[in-house]
Structures are given as C-alpha cells and as structure tokens.
Amino acid sequence: MATLVRLDPLREVATMHNELSRLMNGLFEGNGRATQSWVPTLDAWETETELVYAFDLPGIPQDKISIEVEDNVLTVSAERELAKEVARESYHRLERRYGTFARSVGLPQGVSDEGIRATFADGVLEVHVPKPEQSKPKRIRIGTPAEQKTIEG
C-alpha cells in the first residue's frame, strides 16, 4: 500500500539551512581552533496576544545569556564553554558545539519593547513578545455641523 507524504517546502528549507550550517562549521574543524561558532535551534509560535520564541541553550548559565531588541530585531547571544579541559587528541568524538553565538530574529512592525519578557528553564529560553495593537478605523466627519454626515474608514 502506498503512503502519501505532504510536501512541506518550509521544512525542506529548514533542513537545508541546518545541513549548510553543519557543513560550514565542519570546514573549520581540525585547524587548531579551541572553540567553534554554533547556532542554537529555535521554535517560534504565536498565541492570540503574543509571539513566542524558544531557543535551546543547554549548558549555558542564565547569567551568560544576553537578550537585546534594536530596530525591530531580537538578538540572543551567549557563550557555551567547554566544561573540562581534555587534550584534543584524547577525544574519541567531539560533536557538541562550543563558543559564542548570536541569533537574530526580525520582529513585526509596531512591536513595543516595553512588554517583552523572557523565562529560562531546563536549558530553554523563551522570549514572549506582545503583538502590536492593530490600528482601528477612525471616523471622520465632513460637511458643515448642520449636515453631520459620517464616513467610516
């Protein structure tokens, strides 16, 4: 029996992005660098009142994480340090990424940075961004006060 699989182009683009990141980071392995740049994974979703961005940051203490908002861009940065000093030639496998990172996400127009809040639990940073208020139609009166016509816009 044949199984149908729905095409999800965004999933394919995300997979390609991850593979390219892995490839580019792999190009620098073996050249004596003690740390390598990395990019944490990110989930984003929305509720009725806010946008939520969740970053996986295992092994990073909360006080080492920086969150900034400038020109409608949310930037999360930190550094994950190698926990133990082990001679590089003693490793059998070194797959986890260490070093600094900065990940930026564009925010919608009209977002106020005043209501943004963040929580950090079990290695997951969640940044909650209130949705901007939608502009409401404004009524404009035309004519003389005696004619009192209203146009809704």
pLDDT digits (tens, 9 = 90+) for 111-128: 888 889 999 999 999 999
Residue 32 to residues 9, 29, 35, 114, Cα–Cα distance (Å): 38, 8, 9, 44
- Please answer whether residues 74 and 105 qualify as being in contact, where contact means their C-beta atoms are separated by less than 8 angstroms: yes
Rg (CA), the chain: 24
CB neighbour list of residue 103: distance below 8 Å, 6 or more residues apart: 39, 40, 42, 55, 75, 76, 77
Average pLDDT, the chain: 80
Cα angle 10, 43, 104 (rounded to 5 degrees) comes to: 90
- CATH code given to domain 9-152: 2.60.40.790
Confidence of residue 12 (pLDDT cuts 50, 70, 90): confident
Residue 10 CA from chain centroid, whole number: 16
pLDDT digits (tens, 9 = 90+) for 33-57: 444 467 899 999 999 999 999 999 9
**129: nearest Cα among 109, 101, 150, 153:** 109
Reduced to 3 states (helix: H, G, I; strand: E, B; else coil), residue 37 is coil
Q: Where are the domains of the chain?
A: 9-152
- Whole-structure pTM value: 0.62
Helix or strand (DSSP H, E) at 15: helix 9-26
pLDDT, residue 153, reads 58
pLDDT digits (tens, 9 = 90+) for 73-113: 999 999 888 767 777 677 777 777 788 899 999 998 888 88
pLDDT at 5 exceeding the cut of 70: no
